[in-house]
Amino acid sequence: MVLLRNAFKVAACVSGCALAAKLQDDAVLRKVHALTGGEQKNFDEHFPRGTWDDNWDFPIYSLHSRFANLPVNLSRSPAFLLNNKKYSEASDEEKKKMKEEVKSKATRNIILIRHGQYHLDSDTKNLTPLGREQAALLGKRLAESGMKFDSLVMSTMARATETAEIILEHMPSLKRSSCSLIEEGPPYPPVPAVDHWKPQYSPFKG
């Protein structure tokens, strides 16, 4: 996985996925259905399974009472950033101005990039000639895109690192770092749970 970020936090990710979820109580264990003797397995009892936080983008304790009945997906509305007392006492014109002042003007983008084609039958899983060409063309396109990038974060997986290094040849001054947390791993149990999700146990070992 490779992450690229521009001035507005543009990120790119090669292989793997990004997760935006809030894990709750540590006592809640994440379990998976495993087809090993027909039994369920705790593949990591130290990593709790939580549920999706519908209010991930704004602290629930900050919600004003007058918006309590609004759908959760409106929590990013400028209305939640207003001063409750001042807003209630303001005129219609003042309310309009207050809303405009707290309206977000930043743009944040995430660019996800999969690693180039690699040798499936190789121990090193390094890129094929086509994979290197793919990475080079992508690096060239990003460099010529006109976007300003702040940093690139690459997975420590060989094929992801190789892809990122080729991309960086076209953006040599770009800040870069490696992260093992964005390597490929077992899929996270779906939320809400579904009965047909029963992966093999092998991806969860080690």
| Residues in binding site | 159
Q: Are strands 2-6 and 149-155 parallel, antiparallel or unpaired?
A: antiparallel
User: Rounded to an integer, what distance in angstroms lies between the CA atom of residue 45 and that of residue 26?
Assistant: 9
The one-letter code for the residue type at 53 is: D
- For 21-147, strand residue ranges (E) read 29-36, 39-48, 110-112
- Neighbouring CB atoms inside 10 A of 152's CB total 24
Using DSSP, how many helices (H) and how many strands (E) does the chain show? 4, 7
Tell me the DSSP string of 124-142.
S-PBPHHHHHHHHHHHHHH
User: Binding site for substrate, residues?
Assistant: 159
